[in-house]
Amino acid sequence: MQGRGKIYVGSDFTGIVNDQVWGTGTLVAPLAPDLGFTSVNEGSFASTVDESGGILAITTDTGDDDNAALFAGVFAPRDGKIVMRTRFKYSNVDCAIFVGFCETLSLVTPVVPAEFATATMTYNGTGAMVGFSYDVDGTTDDFRAVMGSGGAAISDSSNGTRANATLTADRYFEVEVIVNEDGSAECWLGDSGHASSDGSLKLRLIKRFFTGTLITTTKLLNAVLMIENRSGNARVLEVDYFFAEAGRDWRPD
């Protein structure tokens, strides 16, 4: 959805998802206007029918390191603050996740922008990224706020900032990632382990990146939510909503 000066994209997945299977190396047609999807291998979509509000269920292929990604974009921070928000859960905890913004995103063989192996965070690709990484291949499992560019950490994000929020199967998490016009960024996380008294998820500021080397404001960034297997089994990512908003470049040529 586009309005004067602002761009809004995303979906609540209410009544628009038809069960379908996608093939290897296939860029799937948008699930909603301006919302894309790609994966490294085959898999399937379905609507979760036993929960209200519209839930998209994404089932990956069975191979280790098979992944799947929802995305929207591209957006440049220089055009005005960019924000992505999503709420999701997983069928099993043997997986990796990236949720936030990334510049490098292959539409044929997508790669997790940031991943963890033993005690070391790896920043993949040549582009900028900021958001949350979770990877059971790490020594200590946790959601970590990360920021990187050119295959390396930037700001103070060498191994990410821990959120003290362990991935639990079939439990919702909510994320908001913000990149400001000056390239600074904020990573917010909500989970049922830190819920409000009424049971709603309470977003906590895990990391504000505002010193050191920040995101280059001319970078073109995708809002993305990606799951990657860490076992030889199909895994299900259920997404309640996925939204992004950005400013529009009104400057003359």
Q: What is the pLDDT of residues 52-102, one digit of tens each?
A: 667 888 887 777 777 888 899 899 999 999 999 999 988 878 888 999 999
| Residue 190 to residues 2, 68, 73, 88, 163, Cα–Cα distance (Å) | 28, 22, 24, 11, 10
Whether residue 20 has pLDDT greater than 80: no
pTM of the model: 0.90
Question: Where do the domains of the chain lie, and which CATH numbers do they carry?
Answer: 2-247 (2.60.120.200)
With beta carbons less than 8 A apart as the criterion, state whether 183 and 212 touch.
Answer: no
* Confidence at residue 147, expressed as pLDDT on a 0 to 100 scale: 96
Q: Of 229, 243, 224, 230, give the one whose Cα is nearest residue 43.
A: 229
Banded pLDDT at 108 (limits 50, 70, 90): confident
SS (H, E, C) 45-89: EEECCCCCCCCEEEECCCCCCCEEEEEEEEECHHHCCEEEEEEEE
> CA 90 → CA 171, 174, 184, 238, distances in Å?
7, 12, 30, 6
DSSP 8-state assignment for residue 220 = -
Can you tell me the distance from the alpha carbon of 228 to that of 238, in angstroms, rounded to the nearest whole number? Answer: 13
